[in-house]
Amino acid sequence: MKLLYQLNAAFTALILVLMSITAFFIYSLLMDMLIQDEQRQLKARAEILIDVINDQSPSRGPELSQLIQDRNYPILLFDRDSGEVLFRTMPNTVADEWISRYDEELIDEEVWGSSGERFVVYDFALSSDNSQVLVMATPLNDLQAVQSVFAFRMIVVIIIGLVLAVVISYFLTKRLVTPLSRLKLELKKIEKRQFDQVQAVEASGEIKEVEQSVRHMAEELSRYIHSQKQFFQNASHELKTPLQSIQGYAEGIRDGIFEGEAAEKGYNVMVSETERLKKIVNEMILLAKLDSSEDVYHPERTDVMELLTQAKDRLVPLAQDKGVDIQLDVEDSFYSYVDGERVLQAFINILSNAIRHARAQVTIETSVQNGMVHIRVGDDGEGIPEELLPQLFERFIKGKGGETGLGLAISRAIVVRSGGSIEAYNQSGATFEIQLPGE
């Protein structure tokens, strides 16, 4: 069943239930309202009757006769003490029954019954000692007829209202579901990898947010697939180069082309290229594990400042060979729940990259803000080429003097796995800024 029909059915059922409950309560309250209104009318006629009785002028005679002969308002006047009927315009059996039940049952009731017929009554004492009681009544059947007419009209109103509600619900629901139907078509395009054909869907509210998320997902998938293709192209190129060197020297030595010192040089090149090939493969495996495996990352409470100091100490020989001075400014301590070995590896990759590109100095500055440690590693070199900045942390993207093109990619993967972030920009040279959360 389509969502459009499901929403219409649910809305119609809700309206029907609400209108039925409302109609039930109105129908129930209507009789009480009619009875109270009828009692007010009986009271008014009783007051008129008393005035006519008290005023014995001949001119009020016809009015008294009209009140007495009105069959819609039966009258009973009786003596409570003796049970004697003083005056009545109703059957004798009804009058006798009411007099006998008056003191015990009927005195505080609004509706009196007799012989299967019910009446709305208004009773009050005529004498000062409450011995004479006047009762004015009207048949309840008349009120029930009014109630039935009202109920019929109410049912008609409910049916008309329900039809209008269904029609309005259909158009409103269709307006709500249409963006979802269009969004479904856009998702089909993503399923077929037609990312360049994904279009914006006109919507509002939460559906607009979902639509934006879908388009963002399409862009990310497109970028990811493109990066994967580029990765395989670069990986094949990076792996093919050392393999060609190894194959060339191996065939040359086998065929006797390289002998003596040339053969020795060939062996050295083969060993060097094998080591380079091994390093590339190991770094590719590490990247894959960082992206998907839990076994390669083992977090524990670690002092990040101590890791920075260790990274600096390990790279002092490289800095001395390059004639670069490392300036380290760290806080006392900052503990984070990370894998110390992996984070140390990331620091070493970034520091060694800064040392290779620096002219004379590399600075390491740290600060703690809002429970995060900010680490800035800067050099005084030429900086990062602008065209390289957007893809600097991608795999096999090498700058000047780069080795495998995987070091910065591994560093970013480690930092992200640690719950932090890393970015690079130019500021009097290249600057890398790392943020890691506290424990």
Q: Which of 60, 78, 66 is nearest to 121 (CA)?
A: 78
More confident residue, 48 or 380: 380
Residues 413, 337 within the same domain: yes
The domain boundary, picked from 257, 292, 327, lies at: 292
pLDDT at 163: 84
Alpha helix segments (H runs only) across 297-379:
304-314, 316-322, 340-357
Per-residue tokens: 324? 């670069």
For residues 33-47, one letter each, b for 16 or more C-beta atoms within 10 angstroms of the residue's C-beta and e for the rest, the string is ebbeebbeebeebbe
pLDDT at 53: 62
What are the CA-CA distances from residue 437 to residues 156, 302, 346, 418, 432 (Å)?
67, 11, 16, 8, 17
pLDDT at 61: 46
Residue 197 within a domain: no
pLDDT at 110: 80
Q: Which of 371, 378, 384 is nearest to 439 (CA)?
A: 371
3-state secondary structure 91-123: CHHHHHHHHHHHHHHHCCCCEEEECCEEEEEEE
CA separation for the pair 206, 219 (Å, rounded): 20
Is residue 434 within 8 Å of residue 371, measured between CB atoms? no
pLDDT at 291: 67
Is residue 312 within 8 Å of residue 351, measured between CB atoms? yes
Residue 248 within a domain: yes
Q: How far is CA 372 from the centre of its chain?
A: 29
Amino acid at 8: N
Residues 216, 286 within the same domain: yes
Residues 339, 362 within the same domain: yes
pLDDT at 215: 81
The domain boundary, picked from 292, 316, 331, lies at: 292
pLDDT at 376: 92
Give the CATH number for residue 306. Answer: 3.30.565.10
Residues 225, 258 within the same domain: yes
Give the CATH number for residue 128. Answer: 3.40.1840.10
- SS3 state at 202: coil
Residues 219, 338 within the same domain: no
pLDDT at 60: 45
Residues 105, 126 within the same domain: yes
pLDDT digits (tens, 9 = 90+) for 374-432: 999 999 888 888 888 877 777 766 666 556 667 788 888 889 888 899 999 898 888 99
Residue 238 within a domain: yes
Amino acid at 146: V
Residue 162 within a domain: no
pLDDT digits (tens, 9 = 90+) for 296-320: 788 899 998 999 999 999 888 888 8
Is residue 332 within 8 Å of residue 403, measured between CB atoms? no
CA separation for the pair 129, 415 (Å, rounded): 100
- SS3 state at 209: helix
pTM of the full predicted structure?
Answer: 0.49
- SS3 state at 365: strand
Amino acid at 280: I
Residue 277 within a domain: yes
The domain boundary, picked from 248, 269, 292, lies at: 292
pLDDT digits (tens, 9 = 90+) for 182-208: 778 888 888 887 877 777 777 777 777
The residues that bridge with 378 in the sheet, in sequence order, are: 363, 431
Residues 357, 270 within the same domain: no
Residues 378, 425 within the same domain: yes
Instruction: Count structural domains, the chain.
Output: 3
- How confident is the prediction for the chain on average, in pLDDT? 79
Residue 93 within a domain: yes
Residue 155 within a domain: no
CA separation for the pair 99, 123 (Å, rounded): 12
- CA Rg, the chain, in Å? 49
The size of the chain, in residues, is: 439
- SS3 state at 331: coil
Residue 352, pLDDT above cutoff 80? yes
Residue 2, pLDDT above cutoff 80? no
Residues 358, 326 within the same domain: yes
CA separation for the pair 98, 138 (Å, rounded): 14
Compute φ and ψ for 377, nearest 5 degrees: -115, 115
Is residue 196 within 8 Å of residue 211, measured between CB atoms? no
Residues 121, 219 within the same domain: no
Is residue 287 within 8 Å of residue 411, measured between CB atoms? no
Residues 424, 321 within the same domain: yes
Domain around 85: 3-147
The residues that bridge with 88 in the sheet, in sequence order, are: 76
Stretch (H or E) spanning 432:
strand 430-437
Residue 198 within a domain: no
Residues 124, 225 within the same domain: no
What are the CA-CA distances from residue 154 to residues 27, 148, 157, 161 (Å)?
9, 10, 5, 10
- SS3 state at 259: coil
Percentage of the chain beyond pLDDT 70 is 86
Is residue 60 within 8 Å of residue 72, measured between CB atoms? no
The residues that bridge with 431 in the sheet, in sequence order, are: 378, 425
pLDDT digits (tens, 9 = 90+) for 25-46: 877 777 778 777 777 877 777 7
